[in-house]
Amino acid sequence: MLEDFVANYIEHADEEYFLGSYIIQSKDNNNDLLDGQQRITTLFLLFAFLRDYEMASDEVKENCESLIFQKANKIRHIEERIRLSYEIRGNVKAFIEEFLMPSGSINLHWSEIEKKVSSKKENLSIQRMCNALICFKKFFTERVNIDLDAFLGFILNNVVMIYISADSLEDAFRLFSVMNDRGQKLSNADILKSSNLEKIDDDIDMNNYAREWEDMQEDFGNDFDRFLAYIRTMLLKKRPKMNLLDEYNKLIFKTGLIKQGKEFFDYVFKVYKDYNTLINLHDNEDSEYCTLIRILINCMPSTDWIPVVLAYGRKYGNSGLLIFTQKVACKNIADAVCGKVPSYRIDNLNNIINLIDESVDYQSVLNAKEFYSFDQNVFMANIQSEVYGRRYTYALLMMLEYKYKDKSEWKEFGTVSIEHILPQTPSANSRWVRDFSNHPKLAY
């Protein structure tokens, strides 16, 4: 962005520079920014830096100060306030108020800003803000020939953004989904967080829930939406018919399956805790179960089994958990070997979640043979034909390894090579020699 601004303020000083659009939900006192957060925040940080930059003129500093902080005006009934506030991001708001809002605060806290960039304990948003400030300093220090008065004048007079305003959160998100085609888009997780935080009246509670959600989101990274899809499957117990947000809004919230706000957050946080134990295997000492889960995570062609294991573990804990997970794994692989289409396999797994939900004890779940049965004749015929190159082959071979290997110490999932499957010294008339060419990479 800085490179673009510098190039255009010199070469295209009389032309407009379009920085895109942003979407807000209009409110009485504040407007909630739903799309355009990265650009607006970056501009805010840039103005804060130039306000405190020693090479900037007094005019640049005064203009930047007015862009960051709105002074009170009793005659016009204007209150004193900062122009950009992170109301739902806990200590990010405190960081802005201390490190960015007061004039001279960046210079005063510069050594702390440098430390926060590399601190693993620091909030990720704060790390990125500090990194941006350091980037600004490096950029302008290396380009001392920039006319900062003209540079800022170009931004304030030539840089154009279009804003779209909606009265309701639902309308704003609908606009967002239709129009946002640049930058890092809000994820389903971001939208669910915002719409549920809006239902919490107490500011302290809202900040606490927001902070815990962001820690969880940071832990999952790009897989967070998938985790929310697992929760959706456990709640609805059927294949999705619409996008994830619509299913939460129309089939979960509006039907009263879960109430928005605290009840939703509490439910997600509890599932997250169980997920860490059952799937991420935190503090899980059952070596055989851990080995099985690692095989399923690394080898299964899909993760549709995860909500099923989660549903069982959340209801019955460790009682029969290993046996149940083995049954689900074998059923899922067997259906794939038998040529069942994904929709059929997913429906079977969802039927097992229904079974768990309606059961009165774990034995009734384990003994429901019809939920784990498959056509053994078709299965045997298919594995005796050409199995290599199929999506399920890796999982099938590793499940065989799991079945016959000592599982008491086989907890870590190691690298698997072709040598691990083929015999090292087959006899000359062995079928292994006929089926596999003596290629150097196969290394008998």
- φ, ψ of residue 429 in degrees (nearest 5): -100, 15
3-state class of 207 per DSSP? helix
Q: Which residues contact 286 (CB under 8 A, 6 or more apart)?
A: 318, 321, 322
Q: Is the Cβ–Cβ distance between 79 and 61 less than 8 Å?
A: no
- Copy the structure tokens of residue 260: 């928005």
Q: Is the Cβ–Cβ distance between 59 and 199 less than 8 Å?
A: no
For residue 230, how many other CB atoms are within 10 A of its CB? Answer: 20
Q: Which residues contact 424 (CB under 8 A, 6 or more apart)?
A: 444
Sheet hosting strand 159-166, strand order edge to edge: 32-35, 17-25, 159-166
pLDDT digit string (tens) for the chain, length 444 residues? 898 888 888 888 888 888 888 888 777 777 878 778 888 889 999 999 999 999 999 999 999 998 888 888 888 887 877 777 776 555 788 888 889 888 999 999 999 999 998 887 787 788 889 999 999 999 999 998 999 999 999 999 999 988 888 776 666 666 665 555 444 456 778 888 888 988 888 878 888 898 899 889 888 888 899 999 999 999 999 988 888 888 998 899 999 999 999 999 999 999 999 999 999 999 888 888 988 898 888 888 889 999 999 999 999 999 999 999 999 999 988 998 888 888 888 999 999 999 999 999 999 999 999 999 999 999 898 888 877 778 788 888 888 888 877 666 655 555 555 555 667 778 888 888 888 776 544 443
Give the pLDDT confidence score for residue 87 in this predicted structure.
64
Q: Are strands 159-166 and 69-70 parallel, antiparallel or unpaired?
A: unpaired
Give the pLDDT confidence score for residue 170 in this predicted structure.
62
Distance (Å, whole) CA 211 – CA 230: 22
Q: Is the Cβ–Cβ distance between 288 and 407 less than 8 Å?
A: yes
Distance (Å, whole) CA 340 – CA 338: 6
CA-nearest of 176, 148, 182 to 164 is 176
CA-nearest of 15, 28, 64 to 43 is 64
Q: Which residues contact 304 (CB under 8 A, 6 or more apart)?
A: 332, 345, 346, 349
Distance (Å, whole) CA 116 – CA 381: 61
Q: Is the Cβ–Cβ distance between 72 and 78 less than 8 Å?
A: yes
For residue 378, how many other CB atoms are within 10 A of its CB? Answer: 14
Q: Is the Cβ–Cβ distance between 68 and 47 less than 8 Å?
A: yes
Distance (Å, whole) CA 308 – CA 312: 6
Length of the chain: 444
| Tokens 């800085």, residue located | 2
- φ, ψ of residue 39 in degrees (nearest 5): -65, -45
| Tokens 């004039």, residue located | 103
Amino acid at 264: F
Which residues, in sequence order, are bridge partners of residue 73? 78
